[in-house]
């Protein structure tokens, strides 16, 4: 006897992803009075990832970045503890890993990105062993600090991959924290530090780039611009560094290696109809101003998964979320999208223990400072205090509650 297929579970608004972007949007929608909201998120752990750099630098405990997912889900939002595996925007349906089918009136894509550890030969197998670490994994951030504080001499390599990455300043911030620690311990002169950056400058906004150049010089860091690690032999402790400007490669033996993996959209999105064909990394196509998919107006995207020409940071999400919510609600009411996102993002650039500069800028790379009467283009202790103590409070008690 044939069985009747189970009809899809329908929701007015379906959010994929329970990280920073998904929770912030859900909280704002609830405050706007929306009742039928479902959120797809398989993880039971919620991380405040910007703190991991300070964990790796010995300035914060890992537990300070941790909450349970249940603690951050807004009241009234239905939490579906599953992973999305496909989206059919024509049918307005999402399929989950268990085979469940969900339909929606509006879809918000906020699943974050995928850390492609296998995208660099040798990296996945070397992680956590023989001096190789990464602050992009919470279990390895404490190892970073352990390696830094135990090092007295040798070569330390800090790398960044090509392509968009979450928190673009993080690959170099840990190099500065390590160098400052070694300076204070009196061993900096015995340690060779190599910073491998694929970009033509340390930072794309000139005023902040100048400060970072001064910081690198202060520590004696060898900055390799337009360069990238292309291979790794963990057993031999050797990294292959390619200079994209000259086409030459060099094999460097290291004692400590902090690696940042290549990053891409989740495969189920990258291989689907919502991906931007102009993005080699599979990120979602979205209007850069109203954050709506140009071909499927029922779909919005924000955060790391959106193919936007700005840095992938929590600060960017804080400005994107109200735009998504406002325009989504306008569409439900039959009104045109009126809210605008100008590309604002912020990179808190830690340059030493208890020192930081706050880089805020928009799509046009214009500095857009949000704190009056304070010069955030220079290294400041008050900005470090903001990162260590102020921003986590703003995150947990403001953003995730739909208040900031």
Which tens digits make up the pLDDT trace of 192-231? 999 999 999 999 999 999 999 999 999 999 999 999 999 9
Instruction: Note whether 9-113+265-342+396-401 and 118-262 share their fold.
Output: yes
Query: Bridge-partner residues for 88, per DSSP?
Result: 93
Class of domain 118-262: alpha beta
Q: Which residues are catalytic?
A: 167, 347
Residue 6's pLDDT band (cuts 50, 70, 90) = low
pLDDT at 338 over 80: yes
Residue 59 CB: number of other CB atoms within 10 A?
18
Query: What digits encode the pLDDT tens for the residues 363-397?
Result: 999 999 999 888 999 999 999 999 999 999 999 99
When the candidates are 3.30.160.100, 3.30.420.40, 3.40.190.10, 3.50.50.60, the CATH number that belongs to 9-113+265-342+396-401 is 3.50.50.60
Token digits of residue 87: 């989206």
C-beta of residue 356 within 8 angstroms of C-beta of residue 387: yes
- Written as one string, the DSSP assignment of 203-257 is -SSHHHHHHHHHHHHHHT-EEETTEEEEEEETTTTEEEEEETTT--EEEEE-SEE
State the pTM of this model: 0.95
Query: Hey, is 396 helix, strand or coil?
Result: helix
33 Ramachandran zone, left/alpha/beta (phi>0; psi -120 to 50): left
Token digits of residue 60: 């914060």
C-beta of residue 101 within 8 angstroms of C-beta of residue 259: no
Angle at 110 between CA 104 and CA 115, to 5 degrees: 135
In this prediction, residues 249-273 reach a mean pLDDT of: 97
Query: What digits encode the pLDDT tens for the residues 350-364?
Result: 999 999 999 999 999
The domains of the chain are located at: 9-113+265-342+396-401, 118-262
Query: Hey, is 193 helix, strand or coil?
Result: strand
Query: Hey, is 340 helix, strand or coil?
Result: coil
Residue 83 CB: number of other CB atoms within 10 A?
16
Token digits of residue 191: 């340690």
């Amino acid at each position: 006897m044939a069985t009747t297929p189970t009809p899809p579970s329908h929701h007015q608004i379906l959010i994929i992803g329970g990280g920073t972007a998904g929770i912030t949007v859900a909280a704002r929608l609830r405050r706007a009075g929306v009742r039928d909201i479902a959120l797809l998120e398989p993880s039971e752990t919620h991380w405040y990832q910007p703190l991991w750099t300070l964990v790796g630098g010995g300035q914060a405990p890992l537990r300070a970045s941790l909450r349970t997912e249940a603690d951050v889900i807004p009241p009234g939002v239905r939490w579906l503890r599953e992973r999305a595996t496909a989206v059919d925007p024509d049918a307005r349906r999402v399929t989950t890993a268990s085979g469940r089918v969900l339909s929606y009136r509006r879809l918000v894509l906020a699943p974050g990105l995928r850390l492609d550890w296998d995208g660099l030969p040798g990296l996945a197998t070397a992680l956590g062993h023989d001096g190789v670490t990464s602050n992009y994994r919470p279990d390895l951030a404490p190892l970073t600090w352990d390696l830094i504080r135990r090092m007295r001499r040798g070569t330390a390599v800090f790398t960044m991959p090509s392509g968009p990455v979450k928190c673009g300043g993080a690959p170099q911030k840990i190099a500065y924290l390590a160098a400052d620690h070694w300076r204070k311990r009196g061993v900096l002169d015995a340690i060779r530090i190599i910073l491998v950056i694929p970009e033509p400058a340390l930072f794309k906004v000139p005023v902040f780039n100048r400060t970072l150049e001064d910081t690198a010089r202060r520590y004696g860091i060898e900055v390799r611009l337009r360069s990238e690690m292309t291979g790794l032999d963990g057993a031999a402790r050797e990294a292959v560094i390619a200079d994209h400007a000259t086409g030459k490669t060099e094999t460097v033996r290291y004692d400590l290696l902090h690696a940042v993996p290549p990053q891409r959209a989740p495969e189920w999105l990258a291989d689907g109809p919502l991906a931007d064909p102009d993005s080699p990394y599979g990120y979602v196509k979205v209007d850069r101003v109203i954050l709506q998919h140009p071909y499927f107006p029922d779909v919005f995207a924000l955060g790391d998964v959106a193919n936007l020409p700005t840095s992938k940071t929590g600060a960017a999400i804080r400005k994107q979320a109200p735009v998504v919510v406002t325009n989504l609600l306008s569409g439900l009411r039959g009104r045109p999208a009126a809210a605008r996102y100008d590309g604002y993002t912020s990179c808190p650039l830690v340059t030493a223990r208890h020192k930081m500069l706050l880089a805020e800028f928009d799509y046009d790379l214009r500095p857009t400072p949000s704190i009056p009467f304070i010069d955030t283009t220079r290294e400041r202790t008050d900005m470090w205090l903001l990162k260590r103590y102020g921003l986590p409070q703003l995150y947990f008690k403001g953003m995730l509650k739909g208040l900031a």
